[in-house]
Structure 1
Amino acid sequence: MRSVRWNVSSIHYFSIDGRERHISLDLNSVNIITGASGTGKSAIIKTVDYCLGSSECDLPDHVVQHASAVGVKWAKDGQQIFVARLLPPPGKTTSPRMFLEIGGNIDVPQDYRAFRGPTSLTTAKETMKGLFGIGDARQQTESPDVMGDRIGIRQFTPYIFLSKGVIDSETVLLHGLDDKEKADDIVGSIPYFLMAVDERSIDIERKVRGLKKAIEIEADKWEKASGVHNESRAKALSLISEAAEVGILPSQGIIDDDIKIHDILREITRWTPADDMDQYGTELDRLYREKDAVLQDITDIRQKIRQASETHDVAHRFQGSTDRQLDRVSVIESLHLNGNLDTCPVCNSPTPETKEEIRRIKGSLSRLRAEKNAVQKSLPQLEGYVKKLKIRLSDKTSNLKIIDEQIKAAFEQSEAVEKTKSVHDQALRVSGRVSYYMEVEYTEPTHNFFKLEDLKRKLESLLENYDPESKEIAIRYAEGEISRYATEILSILPAVAPCAGAEIRFNARKPDLTIVEKESRRPIRFKSIGSDQNYLAIHIALLFGMQRFFAKSGSPVPGVIFIDQISRPYFPQEIDRDEVEIIEEDEDTQAMKQHFDFLFNEVLEQYGMQAVILEHAYFGKDKRYREATKERWTRKSGDRLIPVDWPPARP
């Protein structure tokens, strides 16, 4: 028999000594495994979960101690997947060693050492994800900056396992939601499995949320920058108005464009005076330069006169000193020595010792007369030089007066010239202030503005091919359909007030569930419903309602549900209990049978749907139940999941 959805074909266990134990299951059918407590029924769900790549091995210790590996064979449309995984070695909680084989008719080896297709845990999960039809999609997160984990086979386990901790729980709605780490992944992937989003829309939505966040940030920056810019803009407009008043440019009227304001300001900084104003300024500049040159000449002449006068005074004093020395030395001429230097000119006595002294005195007399002659010649020259300098000084002084008159005349030419000069000076000041403003104070938020506009354009482009409301519409539609299916199923399952005849409302966002009481239309929260029988009915109704929707929408969730004991609310949960064969029916057994009747009918109507029920109860009188029972592990038979003669797999 083939299935249009993925079903479990068989579940396998392998011993250390090369033996194999498997449970064969019918596709598109109800499969029942009954047995006493402690025979290993609950390990079946954990086996499938472990082979779907769970992070830890939660299989019972007896299984771990006596089996070396476990495996599950999946089947759909003639295609098969056999996935096996070694059990953890001593001291470990998991094993990354997996084996994956894909084919049309896989022959599972009896010895785990003959497994084909060795692979890692990560690769196995990725490969199976593709085989089950899960695309390269990521979970949705609250933050657009955070990339969610990739959606994979771990996220569809809540829809295929109705484990003993969930089936009649008043706090846990779906398998895995009681684990915080798993719950986040489950909630993040729900829209994908409800077909409200796909790989493309998830990526677009993440980009949309990121762009909206970026736009919000940039808009805030723009608003803050605009406050500063508005002040700067007001000053810029004031300067433009002043420039118009002094004739730098025509009146501009109202200017709203920041770029135009910037261009006008730059034009003002490049302003130069008119030609006639340049001529006026050039003439004054020439006169001032000429005046500066004359003043410099006067300064130079005065310095030369001072230096020449000082030299004349020094020469004159030197001449006087020379005359006094000549008067003292010239007395030797009165002695009439006539060249006789060996005798005294008074007594004619021999004086050989004075001969050298007389020679020196006569030499000094000659030098003094030469110096006097030199000074007498230079004094008239110095006097003439000073006189010429004074004449030049007088000329320069007269020239300076003429230039001052010309400057005065230039400033006093006319009232129009004075007015033009004043406007010219004002214009120069305005132009200078604009230049300073542009260099120091001007602010222009053009970068942020352009970035903000670019972000808005990108968002608009994305939204052209994506409707942000489509996801919400699709989720609301899925919630409505699942609620309708679950309400329909609840109506045929045994329940008591307030669930009898009540309406189920499923919320996929949390996820959560409320019921609406039939008569009062009063909503009642999931945790407040009460009665184990009600919680059993609600869990079955919800999970099969979701499976109806998955089948209808083409969701990649496999078409199988594993259920751990429908009889749980009806029989006391004893520690050691044998299989219970139902011979005589009472109110509780009738209620149980109502559940099984639903399961048989549902699986029959929903082609591709498979149910695997792990039970204590055995309805031997019900033909469908008997034919659906694949294993009976009673105390009398001694049968169990792991045969008692299997040797320990670990020392």
Structure 2
Amino acid sequence: MVLFKGSRSWKCWDHRAWSPGALDNAGGQLTREPQTGDQTSRAARQLDGQGRFGRIYFFSIRSDAVTRWNVREIALYGVGARRRTIEFDIDKVNVITGASGTGKSAIIDAIDYCLGSTDCRLPFFVRGHAVAVAVHWVLGDSDLIVGRKIPESGSGTNQMFVRTGKNLRLPNTSEGLEGPTNRDTARAMIEKSFGIQDTDDPAVAAKSEKGRATIRDVTPYLFLSGDIIISRETLLHDLHRPEKARDIKATMPYFLGAVNQTSVLAARRLRQLEAALGRIEREAKAQERSQGLLTQRSIALLTQAEGIGLIAELPSSDASDQLLLDQLRGVAENGVLTPASGDSETRAVLEEERRQLVSELQTLREKRQMLRRTIREAAGYGTAVSGQSHKLKLVEHLKLGDGRCPVCDAENAAGLAMAEQIQNSLTIVAHEVLAVDVMRPRLDDHSGHVENQIGSRSGRLREVEAQLSGLLRVEEESAGAASLLQERARVVGRIDQFLETTARDYEISSTNTASLESEIENLRDQVDPQARRERLRDAENMVSNFATDMLADLPTEVPATGARVVFSSAPSLSLIEPTRRAVLAMAEVGSDQNYLAMHLALSFSLQKLFETMRAPVPGLLVIDQISRPYYPKGGDEKRLKEMEKDDDQVAMQKIVRFLFEETARRAGLQVILIEHAYIEEDPEYVAAVKGRWTKASGVKLIPSDWPNRN
């Protein structure tokens, strides 16, 4: 055994479990992992000064020396200057044993409450007899005291007390708590002390900012509560609460060193801007589709206005939307005082134009039908001519111009005549093929021109019919109107309403997306999702390797025995059993002993990674009863010999050894074990006991003689 001085205290290390060169004299930290036999059971790794681990670069998310916050004391204050203080050793295992109902599990609730939780989960008996609680954190010679009033019922109080400095002590009474502030400010002060980075922009640090790591996102890595430690479904503290699970998942990459606080917020800002840009683009497309309707409704209103003399004449059919809206605004401003004129002439002109358009469309459709038929016939004729040309070209190898018979090769009149006939046929077919090739494109062009004319005439016909419909509505409504003045007022009212509502909805947005797109590109460069994925994957692999080695040191049953642990930041945990290499989800593993081992392996693996990565997570792990698989629930303090099975006694001793040895390996890690079992056979366990709250002793978290606070 050798003694090694860490950053704050001397620690005892088994030199047989460590390879040569295990001590880094420059940094005062262990930098290599234990060796087992000829193989390295835990990968030898060293973090350099640039945030690099092996070949993977991680964000340095804490700049302090490699020391970690521990809990020195917890104090509960009652009425009449009463104080109950529990002291703990730093960098060590601390054990509190005793009976059920003595308040041991409330230690987790007290620490959580003083970390700024919205709710107060302290038990009813504690609330009824204690008026305040305080936790004394230490980091080297630095102190952090966080206190908070305890409500008799309901949610937690908004007022907290935070004080930082050196050589601080807990006050004797709750009135002595210093540094009163509100909960949000207290959280920010604790985050600053723990090293959770913030940004210079106060708006980013607002309470509503999602994706920013806060002190409330640290608690899943500090507590192994009774409802989690042997759970077959819930991996971490509070992960079963939907309102907490979202934040735990969002901030886990930050604590694993895959991202820093700035990149987390940049990624969130990028998602917001990309969503905003997509919304602007969708609105622009919708506005483009709406312009046709805007034009149609504007012309309809102007037609009504022209029909009752509010305007002298209608605008041209190719007038822009802006010109139409300007003319409508002019009508609305002039009101009903515009000189009048009849609408019969306008209606007659429109009806005549409609008749002409219908006639032209009929003629054009007939022409289109003839062209389609001609094109089909030309295509068939061209196919036939091409076939004949191909057949006649088969005789091109004959020498038709040498005066001989193409059949018998003799010089005679009959052969010469036959050669001339063949040559004439070839010439005729060639001319026909040429004619087909020339005419077909012309027919296609003419057909396209006719289609364009039909489309143009149809569009104009719809506009004319809309104008006639407007005039018809004016005539129908005017018949029941008392006077032309009333009709004009009605039309002007319609125009006013149109300009105030519909026209505004269809106005083209003048949003300049250039600056938005530029900011998106800059944020994409900052976020670098590929590098983030690689860092996160490597951190997951590191935790998986750590947990696999630790699981081998813990008592397990098939299929967990000899299995490989696979951790994901989803977060999730699965096992690859060694026999068939089957991948098992947590719920499929079975056995409380296996679930206990898996939770312990994961919690200590994460703490090991946090130490290595200098993550802003306190070096604290509060574990609520490792003996759950071996003792019945409830009752008084239990002895090891009270276990029914010898195998259970061996397993319990193995778990206890794991806690002490793994805590000794981790610089700055403090474990608070809340337990029913008193293992008197283990001297180190006995020495670590900070309190035996048994029925015989009568000791509890809240002394029995404390009066009710009322």
Q: How high is the TM-score relative to the length of structure 1?
A: 0.62
Offset of residue 583 of structure 1: 7.9
**1:522 has 2:582 as partner:** yes
Q: Does the aligned pair in 2 maintain the 1:583–1:621 contact within 8 Å? A: no
Post-superposition offset of 1:452? 5.0
SS in structure 2 of the partner of residue 620 of structure 1: coil
For residues 210 and 594 of structure 1, do their structure 2 counterparts lie closer, same or farther at Cα, with a shift above 3 Å needed? Answer: same
Q: Deviations over 1:268-323 (max 9, x none)?
A: xxxxxxxxxxxxxxxxxxxxxxxxxxxxxxxxxxxxxxxxxxxxxxxxxxxxxxxx
Alignment check: 8 A CA contact 2:69 2:137 kept: yes
Separation (CA, whole Å) in 2 of partners of 1:10 and 1:113: 18
CA distance in 1 between counterparts of 2:697 and 2:638 reads 11
Letter of the structure 2 residue corresponding to residue 196 of structure 1:
A
Q: What is the letter of the counterpart of residue 105 of structure 2?
A: S
**Amino acid aligned to 2:197:** G
Alpha-carbon distance change, 147 to 129 in structure 1, aligned in 2, over 3 angstroms? closer
**Secondary structure of 1:48 counterpart:** helix
C-alpha separation between the residues in 2 aligned to 1:561 and 1:44?
A: 12
Gaps of 5+ in 1: 139-145, 230-446
- How much has 1:630 moved relative to structure 2? 0.8
Contact 1:137–1:150 (8 Å) recurs in 2: no
Identity %: 39
Inter-CA distance 515–227: structure 2 relative to 1 (3 Å threshold): same
Shift of residue 468 of structure 1? 2.2
Per the TM alignment, residue 227 of structure 1 is displaced from its structure 2 partner at its CA by 9.1
The answer to whether the 8 Å contact 1:50/1:56 transfers is yes
Aligned 8 A contact 2:547 2:565 in 1: yes
Residue 615 of structure 1 and its aligned partner are, at CA, apart by: 0.5
Match status 1:635 vs 2:695 = yes
Residues 58 and 210 (structure 1), Cα distance of their counterparts in 2 relative to 1, 3 Å cut: closer
Query: Which residue pairs with 1:37 in the alignment?
Result: 100
- Give yes or no for the alignment of 1:183 onto 2:245: yes
Whether the 8 Å contact between 1:563 and 1:614 is mirrored in structure 2 is yes
Question: Deviations along 1:154-199, whole A, 9 cap, x unmatched?
Answer: 1110000000000001111111011111212212221221122212
Q: For residues 225 and 99 of structure 1, do their structure 2 counterparts lie closer, same or farther at Cα, with a shift above 3 Å needed?
A: closer
Q: How does 1:49-198 map to 2 (within 5 A)?
A: 49-89=112-152, 91-136=153-198, 147-148=209-210, 150-198=212-260
Looking at structure 1, the residues matched to 255 and 180 of structure 2 have their Cα atoms a distance apart, in angstroms, of 29
Aligned to 1:470: 531
**1:505 corresponding residue in structure 2:** 566
1:137 touches 1:151 (CA, 8 Å); kept in 2? no
**What letter matches 1:497 in structure 2?**
V
Look up the match of 2:685.
Answer: 625
Shift of residue 224, structure 1, vs aligned partner: 7.3
Q: Distance in 2 between matches of 1:640 and 1:165?
A: 21
Shift of 1:92: 3.7
In the superposition, relative to structure 1, how do residues 152 and 211 fare at CA in structure 2: closer, same or farther (>3 Å)? closer
Q: Pick from 20, 26, 34: which aligns with 2:83?
A: 20
The partner residue of 1:199 within 255, 261, 268 is 261
* Greater relative contact order structure (CA < 8 Å, 6+ sep): 1
Across the aligned residues of Structure 1 and Structure 2, the Cα RMSD in angstroms comes to: 3.2
**Partner residue in 2 for 1:299:** none
Q: Which residue of 2 aligns with 1:555?
A: 615
The CA distance in 1 between the partners of 2:222 and 2:673, in whole Å, is 12
- The residue number in structure 2 matching 1:578 is 637
How far apart are the structure 2 equivalents of 1:461 and 1:185?
26
Contact 1:219 1:452 in 2 (8 A): no
Rounded Cα–Cα distance in structure 1 between residues aligned with 2:132 and 2:516: 54
Equivalent residues in 2 for 1:73-472, closer than 5 Å: 73-89=136-152, 91-136=153-198, 147-148=209-210, 150-217=212-279, 451=512, 454-472=515-533
- Deviation of 1:448 after TM superposition, in Å, equals 8.3
**1:491 alignment partner, one of 552, 569, 577:** 552
SS of corresponding position for 2:565: strand
Q: What is the rounded CA distance, in whole Å, between the counterparts of 1:618 and 1:199 in structure 2?
A: 43
Task: Quickly say closer, same or farther: Cα 1:536–1:461, change in 2 above 3 A.
Answer: same
Q: Distance in 2 between matches of 1:166 and 1:460?
A: 43
Corresponding residue of 2:468: none
The answer to whether residue 652 in structure 2 is matched with residue 589 in structure 1 is no
Alpha-carbon contact 2:212-2:265 (below 8 Å) kept: no
Tell me if structure 2 keeps the 8 A contact 1:582–1:620: no
Superposed CA offset, 1:589-645 (max 9, x none): 211111111111111111111111000111112111011111111222222221111
Equivalent position amino acid for 2:530 in 1:
E
Once the 2 structures are TM-superposed, how far is the Cα of residue 474 of structure 1 from its aligned partner?
1.8
The Cα offsets for residues 243-274 of structure 1, whole Å up to 9 and x where unpaired, read as: xxxxxxxxxxxxxxxxxxxxxxxxxxxxxxxx
Please give the alpha-carbon distance, in whole angstroms, between the structure 1 residues aligned to 2:564 and 2:67. Answer: 31
| C-alpha separation in 1, matches of 2:175 and 2:272 | 50
The answer on 1:607 being equivalent to 2:667 is yes
Contact 1:222 1:449 in 2 (8 A): no
CA-to-aligned-CA distance 1:347-377 (integer Å, 9 cap, x gap): xxxxxxxxxxxxxxxxxxxxxxxxxxxxxxx
- Indicate if the aligned counterparts of 2:266 and 2:526 stay in contact, CA closer than 8 A: no
| Offset of residue 488 of structure 1 | 1.1
Q: Where does the alignment leave 5 or more consecutive residues of structure 2 unmatched? A: 1-7, 10-65, 201-207, 292-507
Instruction: Report the Cα offset of residue 209 of structure 1.
Output: 2.5
Summarize the Cα distance change of 1:449–1:99 in structure 2 as closer, same or farther, 3 Å threshold: closer
Please say if residues 109 and 115 of structure 1, whose CA atoms lie closer than 8 Å, have aligned partners that are also in contact.
yes
Distance 1:565 1:500 in 2: 22
| TM-score (norm. length: structure 2) | 0.57
What is the letter of the counterpart of residue 535 of structure 2?
A
Describe the SS at the equivalent of 2:687. Answer: helix
Q: Residue 559 of structure 2 aligns to which amino acid in structure 1?
A: P
Is the Cα contact below 8 Å between 1:506 and 1:512 reproduced in 2?
A: yes
Q: Shift in Å at residue 580 of structure 1?
A: 2.9
Counterpart contact for 2:211–2:265, Cα < 8 Å: no
